[in-house]
């Protein structure tokens, strides 16, 4: 049944508080690109829905000011003992503030406080966001950021992790030869996760921002108790594409687990041997969209729900699974 499926995912058989907000401005510095296989370029950008209009130029500039987070990474075992607010550190080839490097190591390298099987209540707070109007319509958006409690030290970061399966299987084509799921594997992919995991994320959004989260854009399979979401991906020239990291020894303990990079999601999905469902920890940036009036900024409690838009920026995978049936065409939605 669906409960047994979810229970066994972690073992490779199938898929499956809040602290007072700390207002820390995250400063970002020039990336030093590396070619030794350990780099992972990251850049936060708003995860608009696939049908959203592009924002006007002044909004783009505001987004660029906020979303200048770049990182690629080479782990440093020793941390500088200094004032974290003013000290810079190296994280996989990038020079970033010490607290940001600490959070990056915590989430990307150590895979701590992600949503799913690791712990019931991850030690992270979702911070409220100032919504900006998207284009000339009534859609308002904002990018979420997160504050991690790392042994009492509160560190801000633009990413969260979740236990997921990422679907890199080929999709059916229309009878006239046109793709039914356009740009699949290039600009977006299906990500499968437990309903309980998504519900936990929604509860953190509610606690941190006050917003209730809509189910729009998700596909629920009641037979397996799994949810599919459409995760966007960087794909245009100049944008860092999400990378895939494979466990060197999937039988290693959590403390000894290490990963090696095998390429971008787009590159990996082009190889027939990799066109499978990959299980592991997906790391995402998250944006919020709310429908409102063109002149009135929506606020929680006005009767509106927020839509969450996930952007996949990295995947740490334990391997492939054959226990999850992929979506092969545009699905119907169960409600």
Query: pLDDT tens across 172-185, in order?
Result: 766 666 667 888 99
Q: Supply the pLDDT for residue 99.
A: 93
Structure-token pair, residue 282: 């997906």
Q: CA-CA distance, 162 to 4, in Å (whole number)?
A: 19
* Residue 286 buriedness (CB in 10 A; 0-12 / 13-18 / 19+): buried
How far is residue 199's CA from residue 239's CA, in Å, rounded to a whole number? 31
Give the pLDDT score at 217: 83
Instruction: Please give the share of the chain, as a percent, with pLDDT higher than 90.
Output: 47
Query: Given this model, what pLDDT does residue 32 score?
Result: 38
pLDDT at 41 (0 to 100):
62
Q: Quote the pLDDT of residue 103.
A: 96
- What does the pLDDT average to over 318-334? 75
Name the strand (E) or helix (H) holding 307. strand 306-321
* Tens of pLDDT, residues 62-77: 444 444 443 333 333 3
CA-CA-CA-CA torsion sign (56, 58, 62, 67): positive
**What pLDDT score was predicted for residue 46?**
41
Range in 46-50, 63-67, 237-241, 272-276 the model is least confident about = 46-50
Across the beta sheet with 124-126, what order do the strands follow?
Answer: 124-126, 146-150, 153-157
Question: Residue 321 pLDDT more than 50?
Answer: yes
pTM of the model: 0.75
Cα–Cα distance, 187 to 265 (Å, whole number): 10
Which region among 11-20, 51-60, 100-109 has the lowest average model confidence (pLDDT)?
A: 11-20
Quote the distance between the C-alpha of residue 100 and its chain's center.
17
pLDDT, residue 70, reads 38
User: Taking a C-beta distance cutoff of 8 angstroms, is the pair 3, 273 a contact?
Assistant: no
- In the structure, what pLDDT confidence band is assigned to residue 59 with cuts at 50, 70 and 90? very low
Query: Can you tell me whether residue 110 is helix, strand or coil?
Result: coil
> Comparing 21-30, 32-41, 227-236, 287-296, which segment has the lowest mean pLDDT?
21-30
Higher-scoring residue by pLDDT: 95, 1: 95
Q: Is the pLDDT of residue 44 over 50?
A: no
HEC per residue, 78-102: CCCCCCCCCCEEEECCEEEEHHHHH
Spatial CA neighbour of 221 closest among 302, 326, 122, 127: 326
- Calculate mean pLDDT across residues 261-271: 94
Residue 280: per-residue pLDDT: 95
């Amino acid at each position: 049944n669906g409960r047994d499926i979810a229970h066994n995912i972690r073992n490779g058989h199938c898929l499956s508080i809040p602290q007072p907000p700390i207002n820390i401005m995250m400063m970002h510095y020039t990336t030093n690109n590396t070619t030794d296989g350990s780099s992972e370029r990251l850049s936060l950008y708003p995860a608009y829905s696939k049908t959203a209009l592009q924002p006007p130029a002044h909004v783009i500039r505001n987004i660029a000011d906020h979303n200048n987070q770049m990182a690629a990474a080479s782990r440093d075992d020793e941390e500088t003992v200094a004032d974290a607010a003013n000290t810079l550190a190296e994280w996989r080839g990038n020079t970033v503030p010490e607290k940001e490097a600490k959070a990056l190591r915590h989430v990307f390298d150590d895979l701590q406080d992600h949503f799913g099987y690791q712990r019931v209540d991850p030690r992270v707070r979702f911070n409220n966001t100032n919504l900006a109007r998207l284009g000339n319509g009534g859609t308002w958006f904002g990018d979420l950021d997160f504050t991690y409690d790392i042994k009492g030290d509160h560190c801000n970061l633009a990413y969260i992790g979740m236990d997921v399966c990422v679907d890199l299987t080929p999709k059916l084509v229309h009878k006239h030869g046109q793709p039914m799921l356009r740009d699949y594997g290039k600009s977006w992919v299906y990500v499968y996760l437990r309903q309980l995991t998504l519900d936990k994320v929604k509860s953190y959004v509610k606690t941190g921002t006050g917003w209730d989260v809509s189910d729009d854009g998700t596909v629920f399979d009641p037979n397996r108790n799994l949810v599919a979401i459409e995760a966007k991906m960087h794909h245009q020239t100049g944008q860092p594409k999400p990378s895939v990291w494979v466990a060197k020894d999937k039988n290693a303990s959590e403390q000894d687990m290490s990963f090696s990079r095998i390429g971008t999601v787009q590159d990996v999905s082009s190889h027939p041997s990799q066109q499978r469902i990959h299980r592991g920890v997906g790391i995402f940036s998250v944006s919020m969209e709310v429908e409102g009036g063109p002149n009135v900024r929506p606020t929680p409690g006005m009767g509106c729900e927020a839509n969450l838009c996930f952007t996949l920026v990295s995947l740490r995978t334990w391997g492939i699974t054959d226990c999850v049936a992929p979506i092969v065409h545009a699905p119907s939605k169960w409600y």
